[in-house]
Chain A
Amino acid sequence: MPRPLGGFDRRAFLTASLLGGGAVLAPSLLSGCAPQSADNGGGGGGGQDGPIRVGVISPLSGAWTVYGKAHSAGFQMAVDELNAAGGTLGRQWEVVIADSRTEPQVVTEQANRLIREEQVDFLAGTFSSAERNAAAPVVTQADKLLLYPTFYEGQSQEFYPGVCNPNVFMFGPEPSEQVWPHLEYMIREHGGRFFMVGSDYVWPRETNRLTKQRLEELGGSVVGEVYIPFNTPQYGSLLGDIGRSGADVVFLSLTGSDTVNFRRQFAAAGMKQDFTVWTVDDEEAATSGVGPEATEGDYVSFDYFWSIDTPNNQKFREKVRSAYPDVIMNTVGVAMYNAAHMAARAIEEAGEVSTDGIRSALAGMTFDQAPQGTLTMRAEDHQATLPSYLVRARPGWTSPDDMFEVVNQVESVEPETAQCDDLPLSGA
């Protein structure tokens, strides 16, 4: 879920100019005083003894903080489990958490710092596609791996090195997994005329492009397609357009506070009775922000939901409840959890902590302990084969425990093959 640079964002601008001055200065002063051990950081990493060190970059402040808590908690939880079981190759795990502040340029700084100064063995995280695209050149240059957890727009060569990159692994679903499996159900139940509303950046645009392609193959059509600038509070004119469009389904890829504001105003305008809403963004945390009355009966699709009834998820929920009772767990947190466990298995299989070792062991690995079911990391393009769920918000839900009921599910979806020039993605 990507956030572009250069939006009309006064807060970011002022924060950067007022606070950033100090914040940027401080690390450079510190590193000026610290011994320059960073020089060997590009190759050496943490070495083959001592703890296994992982750098986790999460949106802990800024626009998408709401998704960030589950993001870092998911990884930390898996690492705690690994350490409790004696570590990997007899070595304990250490996590260094960095705040992306939801800004790509901060991600670049943090990725560099984690690799050079903290000497981490690999990176996990980043949230939006823009954040991932900011971290990818850094890991490529240092020849480290980035394990990326978020639902995303799929891979196509024009966005290299953020995607189609042998050093990046995708643990979240892309549109052919998140959306396609449920199109037939939606057309059958509610009709095939879609009105698409998304935030104005690459993830919604690509998701809508791919959704439209499949929708038209199935005989549906797109009757409206609107992109909204970030931080738009009022939606009066858009609601009017939707009202006159004759659409059956409002297909949403709005993000952050925009999705909350839109959906609350959509409900307040009494439009829920005339249209079916399907969002591909609003996991448990964002849906909580919209509230029960404005989400009732609306659809969401992802690879994971807190309420799905699998044996793995029952165990997982208990662990989250005792370790992180305040965190609203979601698809991204679970992807981070899976990434940590699969990396540990890869390290064990390779017998060493190295980029090449982890990469070749991860490629093709199947992980049957994932909370959502069984996950396979496809060797060819580093995309995960995942389950896919379409859920509907229950009337009067009170918490993520009773928020959604599953209405359509596919146990395992093979994503479309990535549109990359050089497949398979490998280190050579």
Chain B
Amino acid sequence: MDRVLSVLLDVVTSTLVLALVSLGLAVVFGLVRVINMGHGAMLALGAYVAWTCVNRGIPFPVAVLVATVAVGIVGLVFEVLVIRHFYEQPFETLLISWGFYLVVTELIKLVWGTDLRSLPNPLPGTLSVGGAGIGNYVAVISLISAALLTATALVLYRTDLGVKVRAMIQNRDMALMLGVNAPRMYRSVFAVGAALAGLAGALIAPMFSIEPDMGTLWLVRSFFAVIVGGLGAIVGGTLVGSGLIGGATVVFALFSKQVFAQTVVFALAVIALRFRPVGILGRR
């Protein structure tokens, strides 16, 4: 029984951490159709900003907020200077955001160097959930991830803003004709996506290696999570996709070797896309 519970906990936390990391990507991808390859660099930037703040004596929660705002601003500037000229041109935005990734990664190397950095665990210790142990900090991150997903859902389905945004996804031209201020909305969505990446990067920093290339670790997994979950189905899609990519690896690793488990999961993702090209929860 303990074993089932601890596996279940692993599945839930793996899913929620991946969902946290993927949410910014899902928001930008789902709402303004930009394949933001820069997402990985934004994660890294968030982690480095948080690291710098903590090393200046700023408490970790404040450091996370600073990272969120800072990366959000970087995203905003990038949108205003470049991205806004290329909406509706998916291939161009893919290349441009990849360029952004490379430039930011090199800048990180110049500013912070290539040495590995680390942040102390803000909440050491473990708690026991019905006999199965879990790290305090992992538990908190998972809760934050769940809260963020809930908040995103509330904004999308319970507010005026959400109505406008969803109108934009469903019928862009009609929404524009009915007076949705598209340029401003696009800009805000892109900046919010960047801020979410910064937030995620800062939050995962104490659990992971902080290095200029750290975003690449997550980019492939996040993309699979978002695409398999379903374009446009921002909250549910991200959760389902993360469950498949993150959670299923845990389950498969029970019966097979780690290498094999990861391969099987990516193969499953491809098969899922073959039969549901718009993603499991996606709509055309």
Contact = CB atoms under 8 A, between A and B. Distances in A.
B258 interface: yes
Contacts of B6: 240, 243
Given A269-B134, A269-B138, A264 B216 contact: no
Given A237-B254, A268-B135, A270-B126, A11 B119 contact: no
A18 B98 contact: yes
Interface string A286-299: 10111111100000
Interface residues of B, number: 55
Contacts of B114: 65-66, 69
A268 B138 contact: yes
Interface in B92-116: 95, 98, 102, 113-116
A268 B207 contact: yes
Interface in A248-302: 257, 260-261, 264-265, 267-270, 285-286, 288-294
Interface in B218-233: 218-221
A11 B210 CA distance: 17
Contacts of A240: 3, 6-7, 10
Interface residues of A, number: 49
Contacts of B254: 237
A241 B133 CA distance: 13
A423 interface: no
A66 B115 CA distance: 6
B18 interface: yes
Contact of B214 (A236, A257, A269): A257
B137 A268 contact: yes
B266 interface: yes
B219 A260 contact: no
B183 interface: no
Given A234-B17, A265-B207, A291 B118 contact: yes
B170 interface: no
Interface in B13-68: 13-14, 17-18
A226 B211 contact: no
Given A229-B258, A240-B6, A267 B121 contact: yes
A14 B258 contact: no
Given A237-B10, A328-B115, A10 B219 contact: yes
Contacts of B257: 226-227
Contacts of A238: 253, 258
Nearest to B250: A237
Contacts of A260: 116, 118, 208-209
Contacts of B262: 229, 232
Contacts of B208: 233, 257, 260-261, 264
Interface in A319-365: 326, 328
5 contacts: A237-B14, A257-B211, A269-B126, A269-B138, A289-B116
Interface of A: 8-11, 14-15, 18-19, 63, 65-66, 69, 200, 226-229, 231-234, 236-241, 243-244, 257, 260-261, 264-265, 267-270, 285-286, 288-294, 326, 328
